[in-house]
Each structure stands twice: as structure tokens, then as C-alpha cells.
Amino acid sequence: MAKKRLVFTLLYQQGAFYLSRNFRLQRVGDLNWLNNNYRFSSIATAIDELVILDVSRQPRDIEAFCAMAAEVSANCFIPLTLGGGITTLEQAETLIRNGADKLILNTALASYPELVHELVRIYGSQCIVASVDYRVEADSFTVYVEQGQKRLDRPLARYLDELEDLQVGELYLNCIDRDGTGQGYCLEVLEQLPPDFHLPLIMAGGAGNLHHLLAGLTCPQIDAAATANLFNFMGDGLPRARAHLIENVIYMANW
């Protein structure tokens, strides 16, 4: 049986880190602020993976993004997943060359499927994470791309089938309605998974405390629980969350 994982996500834009609530961004602080409150080299044993997303609404500076990611993850020996606006092979190559173990794709899944196939061919399925943002609208689950601005014309269940055809390695499933609310994951979405769905699932959107993480990882369909909530897990928040999960018999690496 595969071990469950705890994933921490950072949202970056134009030199600063942000909180997101229903995809509305609020600036928190710069790299100095992050270093003062989160020393990733010292909490590396509390998380299994670090995800950093460039959520810039303006034109992105990929070199600045890579420099920031290198500093944040220095001496932090856990897998690093980078993404945000990847639409070309050159952008993907730059992120891999600068330390990304995995690439996370969102809009490209719907708009540039040929790019996704190429990245899978070059780097392997295990390197490609499919990020899917959705809303619950009139009891239906609807996929959104382009940072939550564009609604796709097909339901979530069908879209997930299409992702398996792209041969991506895992799914990062994020609820826009719960994003940043701290109200817990939208576990009802698990009913939308196709019966034979086999991709490892990272649940995101809504985790505000260690009890939410536990509720997610208790579900057999969920392989990893992600949080991007900077304030609720400051200080020793992430180590305490991991200890709580292990104490409650969640099968995780225990260093």
C-alpha cells in the first residue's frame, strides 16, 4: 500500500507570496517574510512535497520565479513541483533545468493537449501533475481554466476521463468554492471520479486545520492532502499536523 502524503503549496506572484480565497488573491509577504515564518529546510520532515505555483495575472518572469523557488527549497530534500502558466516546451524545460522534480499543468490540459503528450513523452508520466479547478454549480461539478476565469463546456467526470487519456501521472483537484475558506475539503467530489479512475489524487481547496487534513487522508481515494493556507500552519503547524495524522493511523513516512 502506498504511503499517504502531506503537500504544502505556495502561491507566488511578481516577487511576493499570496493567500487565495475563491481565487481572489491577497498579498502576504515577500521572500524575507516567508523565510522568517517558514524555514523549509527545518520542516522538510513534516511535508512530503512542496508545490510552488506562479499565479501571476501579469506577464510572468520565469527566471525570477526559478530563482525564488531555488532559494525557498534550498537544503530542503523533498520533491519540488513547479508550475503556473506553462504553455510551451521551453517553459517546461526551464523549470526542470532549475530544479523541478514535477511540472503541474492546468489550462494546458484543455488548450494544449499536444504539449502535454510531448511532456509525458520526454519526462515520463510521473513528472506531470494535472491540476483541475472546479466549482459546484446547481449540484453539478464544472471545470474552470485560465485561473478560474473560463468555464469549460463539459462536466468534471468527463474531463477526468480525458486526463487519463493524456497519460498524466497524478491529479491535483482543487475546489474554487472552498479555496482559502478553511471550511474543509469538498469530499463530495469523490463521487465524480470515474469507477476505474487510477490516477493518484491530491486533494486541495479548503484545508484550514489538521482535522481537515485527517478527514481527507482517511478517504481511500485520496493519496495526498494539500494546503496553501499560510497562516493556519505557521510555526510548528505542519509538524503538529503530521504527528496528528500518524497518531490517527494514517499510513505515512515517519522519520
Residue 139 appears among annotated catalytic residues? no
Which pLDDT belongs to residue 252?
96
In angstroms, how far apart are the furthest CA atoms of the chain?
Answer: 46
Question: Are 239 and 43 in contact, with CB atoms under 8 Å apart?
Answer: yes
Regions of the chain where pLDDT drops below 70: none
Specify the amino acid at residue 198.
H
> Domains of the chain by range and CATH?
5-247 (3.20.20.70)
Evaluated on CA atoms 136, 139, 143, 144, the torsion sign reads negative
Task: Calculate Rg over the CA atoms of the chain.
Answer: 17
Give dist(CA 166, CA 114) in Å, integer: 9
Given the residues 30, 54, 61, 133, the one annotated as active site: 133
Look at residue 41 and give its three-state secondary structure. Answer: coil
Which pLDDT belongs to residue 35?
85
